[in-house]
Chain A
Amino acid sequence: MISRRQLVSGLALAPVATVLAPGLARATPSLRIRDIYLGGGEFSEAAHSLVGKTVMIPGFMAPPLKPDARFFVLTRRPMAVCPFCDNEADWPRDIVLVKLAGPIEWLPFNLPIEVTGTLELGTEIDEETGFVSRVRLVDAEVEQA
């Protein structure tokens, strides 16, 4: 049971909590895709320091590589759906493989999303598909930005 005193003190603390809450939300460090990769196949210090930790990475969902897979690819720019922008051949190699705990709900590829999961670096070969990836977010959750 909540005593009246606890309730009152809870109410009294409510303004403090709202002040603290944004800080708490930011406790999950965020990382931009462009800050992960350095040139020449190296990773940045910021990325190295976050390995194994829960990280939020903003980006865009890329078209699926496998229809029934539990992973998707996160890119820093939307994979072109714009006929005027479709002519850039310099597609960047900086992508993040996102592995979800559950099935994927495919969102429009031009919708900004925020993906939170555990960061993994280094080359890995997926057992099921045989695909090689270098940066992964595992046990991830997707939110619309």
Chain B
Amino acid sequence: MFNPLPVALNDLKRSRGGAAAIVLLVAMAVALGVAVSAQERALRQGSADAADAFDIIVGAPGSETQLVLTAVYLQPADLDLIDGAILADLADDEGVVFAAPLGFGDSWQGHPIVGTTDRFVRHLAGGALAHGTGFARPGDTVVGADVPLAVGAEIVPMHGQIVLDEEDEAHHGVALRVTGVLPPLGTPWDRALLVPIETVWAAHGLPTGRAPGEAEIERLLTGDGHAEPGEGVTLGPPWDRALLPGVPAIVIEPASVADAYELRQRYRSNDRTIAVFPAEVLIRLYGVLGDVRDLLAWISILTQVLVIAAVLLAIVASMAQKRRLVGVLRALGASRGYVFAVAWIGISLLIVCGAALGLALGWAAAAGLSAVLEAETAMRLPVALGWQEARLVLVIAVIGLVLAAVPSMLLYRQPVAAALKG
């Protein structure tokens, strides 16, 4: 007997419009499921990567989630300060590789300015900076890869995150000079400007953790300092415990796993601070994200079932058109199996093409959504199709192939004479 494929293809060709509509319908339903699944994974991956440089965060008692969102993802929030002496305690702690303050609050053209230490800048960069050097003088600034400033640029920071009146809100006299650029990190820190924490303290008229340097820093920040480089001003730890002002958050790199848990416990078990692993907050958020994904996955599965049911119904309804074809085939001596094969291959091709197109559409939708979110958050959200999405498409395709047998069987059962008459 002949190959049933050309007959099936020919039949599809004749009802091109309907076939295309069916493929699109199936593709849309599959794409929804694929996009939800791939996007959820991208969000997890992106947020986990962004938290990689932050092992433990210590902040004032309050929301752990807010502390992590502000410290790791630079979401603006008014965090309470914690006693600066904790910085001195941590610097002396054997279980701490480094403890860096994070001072938020100021900004430049919408880019957050974060006060910290040279050690943390290098930790964030994962080694060397892309260009330039770290902090040597109080006005030195290291910018993230997405900040439109090059080494040598000079800027005036704004007080607060939202600027209402540039004249009023500028920190008068505080001038920053870009000395380094971070490599692209794929995190919100790509948009940040990093300055020595002493600069943030001095700009707010606070002590700077070191007695003799204070006047010096003040002088250097007032712009005259550019004439003479800030030699002799020491930045970063060790600080003088008595002269340390408060900080909104401290990020700690522990020496060992045991130290990490010990530090977490120690800075949680008092009423002045909380300590949190960003990972524990993320796992909680992933739990919620997972629930949302499961809900959407169920909706998408139901959609797919409905679409396939609708497609099969449409095929059964259009069987009248096919009667002639079946009649001719049978009259030519085609077996019932052959007629079944022609009908089944035709329907199956539509469903398989729809599923494959849906996989591509779903990937495209997830990639598009990632691009929008990346532009909003500066967080890299890598979309990749994995086994989960492949399984989803396979299941739908197999269910479709099995159900396609129903109208095919209805077709080959009809008597030849009746078919030809139609």
Which residues of B22-53 have CB atoms within 8 Å of chain A's CB atoms? 44-45, 47-48, 51-52
List chain A residues, Cβ under 8 A from B254: 131
A89 and B262 CA atoms in complex are apart in Å by 9
Q: CB distance A63 to B45 under 8 Å?
A: no
B77 close to chain A: CB less than 8 A? no
Give the segment of A6-14, A15-23, A64-72 that binds chain B: A64-72
List chain A residues, Cβ under 8 A from B270: 89
Known: A65-B277, A68-B44. Contact between A89 and B269, CB under 8 A?
yes
Known: A67-B48, A68-B48. Contact between A73 and B279, CB under 8 A?
no
A75 close to chain B: CB less than 8 A? yes
Q: CB distance B269 to A64 under 8 Å?
A: no
Q: CB distance B256 to A65 under 8 Å?
A: no
A21 and B275 CA atoms in complex are apart in Å by 46
Which residues of B240-273 have CB atoms within 8 Å of chain A's CB atoms? 254-258, 260-262, 264-266, 268-270
Known: A87-B269, A89-B266. Contact between A64 and B261, CB under 8 A?
no
Q: CB distance A65 to B265 under 8 Å?
A: no
A93 close to chain B: CB less than 8 A? yes
A136 and B29 CA atoms in complex are apart in Å by 46
A107 to chain B, nearest CB (A): 11
B260 to chain A, nearest CB (A): 6
A118 to chain B, nearest CB (A): 18
Known: A86-B269, A133-B256. Contact between A62 and B261, CB under 8 A?
yes
Which of A67, A68, A89 contacts B265, CB < 8 Å? A89
B73 close to chain A: CB less than 8 A? no
Q: Which residue of B lies closest to A136 (CB)?
A: B257
B43 to chain A, nearest CB (A): 12
Residues 45-70 of chain A, each 1 if its beta carbon lies under 8 Å from chain B, else 0: 00000000000000000111111110
A128 and B256 CA atoms in complex are apart in Å by 13
List chain B residues, Cβ under 8 A from A93: 258, 262
Known: A73-B257, A106-B283, A132-B257. Contact between A67 and B51, CB under 8 A?
yes
B56 to chain A, nearest CB (A): 9
B294 close to chain A: CB less than 8 A? no
Residues 97-137 of chain A, each 1 if its beta carbon lies under 8 Å from chain B, else 0: 10000000010000000000000000000000001111000
Beyond the given pairs A131-B256, A133-B256, 5 more chain A to chain B contacts, judged by CB atoms under 8 angstroms and listed by A's residue number, are A64-B279, A79-B265, A86-B268, A87-B269, A133-B257
A-B contact pairs, 18 of them (CB 8 A): A64-B280, A66-B52, A66-B279, A67-B48, A67-B286, A79-B261, A89-B266, A89-B269, A89-B270, A91-B265, A91-B269, A93-B262, A97-B257, A131-B257, A132-B255, A132-B256, A133-B258, A134-B256
